[in-house]
Amino acid sequence: MRIQRLILTFLAFLLGPILSRADDLLSSALPIEQAVDHFIDARLQETGLQPAPPASDANFIRRLTLDLVGRIPTLEETRTFLASSNTSKRVELVNRLMHSPAFVRHQATELDTLLMKGTRGSVRPYLLVILAEKGSWDRIYRDLMLPDENDPKLKSAAEFLRQRVRDLDKLTAEVSSIFFGVNISCAQCHDHPLVADWKQDHFFGMKAFFSRTYESGGRLAERETGLVKFKTTKGVERSAQLMFLTGKVVKPDTSKAAPPKFSARAELVKLSLQPGQRDFFARAIVNRIWHRFFGYGLVMPLDQMHSENPPSHPELLNWLARDLVEHGYDLRRLIRGLVLSRAYARESRWDKGEVPRPNLFAVARVRPLTPMQLAVSLRLAVTDPQTLPPMSKPEELDKRLQGLEASAADLARSFEQPGDDFQVGVGEALLFSNGVAIEKDLLADGGDRLLNRLRRLQTDDEAIDLAMQTILGRLPRDDERKLLGNYLKQRADRPAEARRQMVWALLTSAEFRFNY
């Protein structure tokens, strides 16, 4: 039975949505969240594993707000959500957050990090424009590969190529990794030693699509011709064809006396989005978006999508990729479906013995906050909640939150972009211990700051409750209340400083640092 399943998994990866096993795929009319839970639950039942229970409302609103708009919820948002008895309040929360301008800003930040990692450039100004227009992923891909530098709103898309064009090997490898989920760099010097899928022909075939691209006068240009040569491990020199990862070759049209201007990059875009060729493109972004919201990809590592590394849930990956294509590469729709699933909303605590393998998605994965998530959340957490505009005035509230985002940009540069093996570094620990930004800014107690409000509360219990709800989004447990209460009593001679230290302890806690 196990051998049979391995064979089916291998075939599912190779043939994707066109496989005869597609008969087992659910109807394309099914909501994404139901398809996700169908395939995840089926695997859990197969392994005999009971998943973690649903996350509490306080846990859910914090997780979702961080994921969709890049910050912790405000005190009013938390209290309103917890007080509601509406059975559809989670769906309504998803809709409210996704329709807010902050959703566009946060998704632009996340995609910019994906697209420009390892460079000094940014395409975020372009992404803000396109995502506000609900632009699709294939539109973004086209604009990055074929940027219009004459359009002031779109010209920053050229930074994707401009930051890499002087190193075509880097450009080839990173386009393949980001857009197609394939780390092709191992096939540069020789055929991949472990993966039969990737030959030198694939690497240099992909490089040939970019060999004509260059920068002139600060603008990108493309030559009419370009030749890429390479030597095999046997020392034979070969000329690379314009070849996509599937092995499909593009040949320039030379049949006419005056052939039209030929763009190799345009041919790559056209070819990679064609039926029969677009599986790499669709599955790569599905896998990356899944990884962002679940903390672990359906394929890991994210850029190792090949026959020797099948997905944990091949049918689910195929279904989501097919659905994405059928709905015009709409990332908003994909995101909404993922966060409405039961799998996304599970609790992150596991108390049933050994923690299940992460690729079963039986329990929510604890994820470190990104630099901007952390910086904006810190700014919001130290703000007196009574000074924020009410939820009934969403435009005013968003304007204030946007100001906090702008003020958090410098602080965000102090934090590391987390990877899958993230640990808090020494630099961050020192920053919170004695950094000027923390001491003089976040822990200030004047004006619209939380500490100013805490200082004026009559009882320690009031101060503890407000600090916990504002910073951690929940009321304290009995043991926490006792611990914090004892500390404040011991420092009764300096109550303002004691409450300041309580805030510092909550801001630097692991609970605040991670999305759980």
Residues 375-393: what's their mean pLDDT?
98
> How confident is the model over 344-349, as a mean pLDDT?
98
Residue 4 has pLDDT above 70, yes or no: no
Rounded average pLDDT over 471-497: 97
Assess whether pLDDT exceeds 90 at residue 57: yes
Least confident of 246-260, 295-309, 472-486: 246-260
3-state helix, strand, coil in the chain (%, to 5): 55, 5, 40
What is residue 193's predicted lDDT score, i.e. its pLDDT?
73
Q: Is the pLDDT of residue 5 over 70?
A: no
| 357-to-51, 206, 350, 364 alpha-carbon distances in Å | 12, 35, 12, 11
> What CA–CA distance (Å, rounded) separates 493 from 166?
64
Examine the pLDDT at 516 and tell me if it is beyond 50: yes
**Does 11 score more than 50 pLDDT?**
no
The least confident of 152-161, 257-266, 335-344, 457-466 is 257-266
More confident residue, 455 or 196: 455
State how far the Cα of 429 lies from the Cα of 205, in Å rounded to an integer: 46
Confidence of residue 254 (pLDDT cuts 50, 70, 90): low
- Using the predicted structure, report yes or no on whether residue 8 has a pLDDT greater than 80: no
pLDDT at position 156 over 50: yes
pLDDT digit string, tens, across residues 202-234:
999 999 999 999 999 999 999 988 889 999 888
pLDDT at site 180: 98
pLDDT at 497: 96
pLDDT range class, residue 256, cuts 50, 70, 90: low
Query: What's residue 405's pLDDT?
Result: 98
- Which residues touch 433 (CB under 8 Å, ≥6 apart)? none
Say yes or no to pLDDT of 119 above 50.
yes
Coil, helix or strand for 179?
A: helix
Q: Is the pLDDT of residue 73 over 90?
A: yes
Q: How far apart are CA 231 and CA 268, in angstroms?
A: 23
How far apart, in Å, are the Cα atoms of 290 and each of 184, 283, 317? Answer: 22, 10, 10
Mean pLDDT over the full length of the chain: 93
Segment among 124-128, 255-259, 369-373, 378-382 with least mean pLDDT: 255-259
12 or 460, which is more confident: 460
* Mean pLDDT confidence for 188-194: 80
**Least confident residue range of 24-33, 173-182, 200-209, 476-485:** 24-33
- Nearest 5°: the CA angle 135, 138, 144 is 90
Question: CA dist 260 to 155, 215, 256, 271, Å?
Answer: 25, 22, 9, 18
pLDDT tens digits, one per residue of 305-315: 999 999 999 99
Residues 138 and 95: their CA atoms lie apart, in Å, by 24
**pLDDT value for 13:** 47
* Neighbour tally for 406: CB within 10 Å: 11
Q: Quote the tokens at residue 188.
A: 């540069």
| Mean pLDDT, residues 483-487 | 98
Q: Work out the pLDDT band at 259, boundaries 50, 70, 90.
A: low
What distance in Å separates the CA atoms of residue 450 and residue 459, rounded to the nearest whole number? 15
Query: What is the share, in percent, of the chain residues with pLDDT greater than 90?
Result: 84
- What is the CB neighbour count within 10 angstroms for residue 53? 11
* Residue 19 in this model has a pLDDT that exceeds 60: no
Domain extents for the chain? 1-28+278-329, 31-122+130-153+330-349, 165-247+263-272, 368-515
How would residue 18 be classed by pLDDT, with cut points 50, 70 and 90? very low
Mean pLDDT check: name the lowest of 66-80, 311-325, 429-443, 491-505: 429-443
Backbone angles phi, psi at 449, to 5 degrees: -90, 150
Does 193 or 377 have the greater pLDDT score?
A: 377
Task: Give the pLDDT band (50/70/90) at residue 258.
Answer: low
* Contacts with 123 (C-beta within 8 Å, 6 or more apart), sequence order: 112, 115, 116, 144, 156, 157, 159, 160
Residues 419-447: tens digit of each pLDDT: 999 999 899 999 998 888 788 889 999 89
On the question of pLDDT at 28 being above 90, the answer is no
Instruction: Please report which confidence band the pLDDT of residue 12 belongs to, taking 50, 70 and 90 as the band edges.
Output: very low
Give which of 107, 95, 149, 161 is closest to 132, Cα–Cα: 107
Strands in 115-228 per DSSP E: 213-216, 219-222
Distance separating alpha carbons of residues 164 and 176, to the nearest angstrom: 13
Compute the distance between CA of residue 171 and CA of residue 220 in angstroms, rounded to an integer: 14
Quick one: average pLDDT of 87-96? 98
Q: Going by C-beta distance under 8 Å and a sequence separation of 6 or more, which residues neighbour residue 124? A: 108, 109, 112, 156
DSSP for 379-444, written as a single string = HHHTB-GGGSPPTTSHHHHHHHHHHHHHHHHHHHTTSPPP-TT----HHHHHHHHH-HIIIIIIT-
